[in-house]
Chains A and B, each alone.
Chain A
Amino acid sequence: MTKTAEKAVEEKLMKDHPLEPYLRMDRIPHIWCPTCGIGTVVSCFIQAVIETATDVDKLCIVSGIGCTARVPGYLKMDSYHTTHGRSIAFATGLKLANPELEVVVISGDGDLIAIGGNHFIHAARRNLDIKVICVNNFIYGMTGGQVAPTTPLTANCSTTPYGNSETPFSLPYLAASCGATYVARWTSLHIRRMTRAFNEVLRKRGFSFVEVIAPCSTLYARRNKLGTGLSLLKYYHDNSEIAHGHDVKDLDIGYQEKIKVGKFIDEDKPTHIDRANVWHTKVFGDRYNWYGPKPPGMEEAK
């Protein structure tokens, strides 16, 4: 292709990009570093919104603070950038005050699991009908590469300059043991599989959790001399092993070791609001009005 032809294609792509209606184009370019793993999560999520024909007017995206927490700012949907660690608590209020909303939390590992860990475990325990996508890059990116509760043992961070000696969390194990009804892990280069997982969570009713392993090119890759973000992106993908339904107790991630990915949990349980509705109906009978939409199969029931 000649240079002019290439430019024409690029311009056309920019103009008629299929994801453009879902993005705030007036905020592009975004703040993420080249070869950061967050970008594919955004495009896969939008793809899933299109494929599931989710009503975008009812779709709310909530985040806390950090690199991944900037995602809602680029999505052309009702989007809420809140405080560090409180995205799930904020999402709890949004969902419970209007159960017709589809509430999705997209945030990072530090935000959701360190400072926000308490809200995470309780939202899973209650089976709140919210969807949580956690981009795990093993490090605090925005503040300059500090150790996270997900950092693999021995990895170098700005606050573990001699290597990390703290045991990390296994996020799928944590989510599953707290009662999540959907738990999956993919890497940010598993484009089709990640998109399918997002499809599934958007159709799911209940606390759903997807962990996406993503490279932090500027801090994690550089500090640990792991090459460029692109090489790390490929490394995670090529060193992952698909293990659907694998025992959640055996999903730890070692430093530059094999990563087990796949869908580990997919089950149906009454949501927090369903349980309250069923119980109050039992207690109050006809005096009680069902709160929010009825679960599938109950629409006609009195």
Chain B
Amino acid sequence: MTGNHYLDGDYAAAEGCLAAGCRFSAGYPITPSTEVFERLTQRFPLCGGFYIQMEDELGSMAAIIGGSWAGKKSVTITSGPGFSLMMENLGLAVMHEAPCVVVNVQRGGPSTGLPTMVGQADMMQAKWGSHGDYEIIALAPSSPQECFDYAIKCFNLAEKWRTPVLLMMDECVGHMTEKVVIPPADEIEVEERPYTKKKPGEYLPYEVGESGQDLVPDFAKAGDGYRYHVTGLTHDARGYPVMTAECQDETIKRLINKIKLNADEIIEIEEEQTKGAQVVVVSYGISYRVAQPAVDRARAEGIKVGQMRLITVWPFPEKRITELAKKIKAYVVPEINLGQVALEVERCAGGHAKTIPVTHAGGWVHEVDDVYAAIKEAAK
């Protein structure tokens, strides 16, 4: 597939999965994400992959965790209502430390909401949707090219940190058709799963070192003779259930710390003219592109506006937001929800700068004027 293509974001995301080495997918049809799975069903038979259309999204998510343990890079694709059903087994993937990728092409919610129209209102669900304490990694692409690029990055992060990773697209990006460049395979950086070098008998599924990257245990896949046990229960290094507050403290804190303590390495953000800015627009996904003309107009009028684009939304770039807050007047946060990521920006700004959310209930993108008005207000 190396070359220049004219693809929509959904197809580009599917191509990204393939380029990352994904060879198993379990999916369930749901607008506006279905084309991602459809593309995989077209491509898998001739490139050694296998897919199944499951009976529901509960099953799709469970199946890709099984696929991951079997040694295949695995993906499932959905939108809001299906994302809700996947929350159950997203928690299992976190607890099992099974690398996998979930693509959510966001539409308007809650419930059935606006099936064919855009939303960005699952951002907090992405962070908190499954029960219990955990950390998650979520990326938000702004173009079909990025759907391709960041699908690959999602797999790389999933394999490296042994965790489910979410590709938080939105309907606009998913259905927008643009030029997508697929580089030659040898120019694509692909992270392979670090399988254990230990012998069966010496290997424990959740044995780790003390800090940083050592918090990620070695992987062994099914059928390699390790005869390991894994469970969704709180467990020790052997994978055996241990029902104590001490084990809970140790296990859950490690799961959180492997992402939290490595946040600097995981987080990718893009900044433009934030140096000396009075106002910084923080945005992601399609909203980043809608904010662009508003930023240009404000700049033409002499307002010093910077832009920060969240490629990684979770873990949240809190350090950078706090740092910048001390130098600027206000953040402007346009997003297609009634204020989700804006809450995180406000929290991290810690009172040093104002946070002005530019909300939208979903169904369409912002009017440029609304973002422009917010920038003007912020600059006052």
Query: What is the interface of chain A, defined by CB distance below 8 A to chain B?
Result: 24, 26-27, 56-58, 60, 62, 72-73, 76-83, 85-86, 89-98, 100-101, 118-119, 122, 272-273, 276, 280, 283-284, 287-289, 291
Known: A57-B224, A94-B66. A81 touches B231 (CB 8 A): yes
Which chain A residues lie closer than 8 Å to B13 at the CB level?
Answer: none
Instruction: Judge whether A78 and B228 touch: CB under 8 Å.
Output: yes
Query: What is the interface of chain B, defined by CB distance below 8 A to chain A?
Result: 23-24, 26, 45-46, 48, 50, 52, 54-56, 58-60, 62-72, 74, 88-89, 91-92, 96, 221-233, 238, 240-241
Instruction: Judge whether B229 and A119 touch: CB under 8 Å.
Output: no
Partner of B46, one of A73, A92, A101, A287: A287
Count of CB-CB pairs between chains A and B under 8 Å? 148
Q: A273–B221 Cα gap in the complex (Å)? A: 21
Known: A80-B69, A83-B232. A94 touches B59 (CB 8 A): no
Q: A79–B55 Cα gap in the complex (Å)? A: 24
List of 4 A-B pairs having minimum Cβ-Cβ separation, nearest first: A93-B66, A93-B63, A97-B70, A89-B59
User: Which interface residue of A26, A58, A81, A289 has the most chain B CB atoms within 10 A?
Assistant: A81
User: Which interface residue of A27, A58, A92, A288 has the most chain B CB atoms within 10 A?
Assistant: A92
B201: shortest Cβ distance to chain A, in Å?
Answer: 11
Q: A27–B229 Cα gap in the complex (Å)? A: 11
**Residues of B contacting A: mostly:** mixed
Which chain B residues lie closer than 8 Å to A77 at the CB level?
Answer: 227
Partner of B229, one of A73, A94, A284, A289: A73
Which chain B residues lie closer than 8 Å to A90 at the CB level?
Answer: 62-63, 65-66
Known: A83-B88, A97-B66. A291 touches B50 (CB 8 A): yes
A127: shortest Cβ distance to chain B, in Å?
Answer: 13
User: Which interface residue of B45, B56, B58, B65 has the most chain A CB atoms within 10 A?
Assistant: B45
Q: A288–B43 Cα gap in the complex (Å)? A: 12
Which chain B residues lie closer than 8 Å to A291 at the CB level?
Answer: 48, 50
Partner of A94, one of B54, B67, B228, B241: B67
Instruction: Judge whether B59 and A101 touch: CB under 8 Å.
Output: no
Q: List 20 A-B contacts (CB under 8 A).
A: A62-B66, A73-B241, A80-B231, A81-B230, A83-B62, A83-B88, A85-B58, A86-B62, A86-B89, A86-B92, A89-B58, A92-B52, A92-B66, A93-B64, A93-B65, A93-B70, A94-B69, A96-B67, A98-B71, A287-B46
Q: A91–B67 Cα gap in the complex (Å)? A: 9
